Amino acid sequence: MKRAAATVPGPGRYTVDAAAKALELLSTFSFHERRLSLSELAARTGIPRATAFRLLSTLEAARFVTKAGGEYQLGLKCFMLGNVVAADLDLREIARPHLVALRDVTRETTQIAILDHWQVVYLERVPSPQPVGIMRARTGAILPAYCTALGKTLLAYEPREAVAAWAATQTFAALTPHTITSARRLLKELRATRERGYGIDEQERELGVRCVAAPVRNHEGRIVAAISVAGPTERMPRRLVDSDVATTVVAAAQAISMDLGAGSIAGEDAAQPAHGGRR
């Protein structure tokens, strides 16, 4: 049975039928039905299956939807437009006070990012008050995940089989002498990241820059982002693992998670991926 969508324009003199149908497909998704098959989308909208497939293919190419395991879900472009509509009442707004506080405590640059198409998308960045002549990442930047603390943290909580399958198809460029360039070594690093609960970057993307990142969970306990502290090698702790900076980053990530409604979540299995490689 076709479901009415109040947000979709009805027939009119200036209405474009294909655009109206595409919007109707997007409007079919909800918090309770975040993933739908082609058959389900066609049945709920009344759009012929072949037409729905073509429209969804167009939306997928534009990253308004993504497809995994035969099901569609809303893509990053919807998230980006939602940010505009919500006037920043979102993850960025909730996280920013914590990022500022984390920057003030560590006196180094803090940032938050999500995973999309196996890449890191930087949502917000709070610069260090100290001179930083390096660190080229900026808000809105899209960087490889395999060589950043943020990316490795997010990859660590993706389904392991999916990460392994993706990694097996990749050629990891050596951006510095410290970059992980093999799938085997990356997967080993991701296991270590998940076990300790945070990721590190030992000058793997940029010489002279080291970083610690920790995952952020939403009200369902799913990983939706990661935050990090990054700074020049000489100002960061000699050993990042078990450092005070790592403890502080994890605490800040947990505080953001609490503000997102995550509650008290502990244990490896509590964190389930929300974004990432499937997109």
**How confident is the model over 93-118, as pLDDT tens digits?**
899 999 999 999 999 999 999 998 88
Residues 245 and 129 in one domain: yes
Residues 56 and 142 in one domain: no
User: What are the tokens at 161?
Assistant: 């089989």
What is the mean predicted confidence (pLDDT) over 183-189? 96
- For 31-67, how does the pLDDT look when each residue is reduced to its tens digit (9 = 90+)? 778 899 999 999 999 999 999 999 999 999 999 999 9
Q: Which of 24, 68, 61 is nearest to 45 (CA)?
A: 24
Residues 113 and 193 in one domain: yes
Is 1 part of any domain?
A: no
How far apart CA 240 and CA 201 sit, in angstroms, is 9
CA pseudo-torsion sign 31, 34, 39, 41: positive
Residues 258 and 131 in one domain: yes
Is 239 part of any domain?
A: yes
- What type of residue is 145? A
Average pLDDT along the chain: 85
User: pTM for the whole thing?
Assistant: 0.64
pLDDT at 79: 80
User: How many separate domains does the chain show?
Assistant: 2
Is 2 part of any domain?
A: no
What is the mean predicted confidence (pLDDT) over 75-87? 71
Find the domain containing 255 and state its range. Answer: 83-273
Is 8 part of any domain?
A: no
**Counting beta carbons within 10 angstroms of the beta carbon of residue 61, is it exposed (0 to 12), middle (13 to 18) or buried (19 or more)?**
exposed
How far apart CA 66 and CA 60 sit, in angstroms, is 5
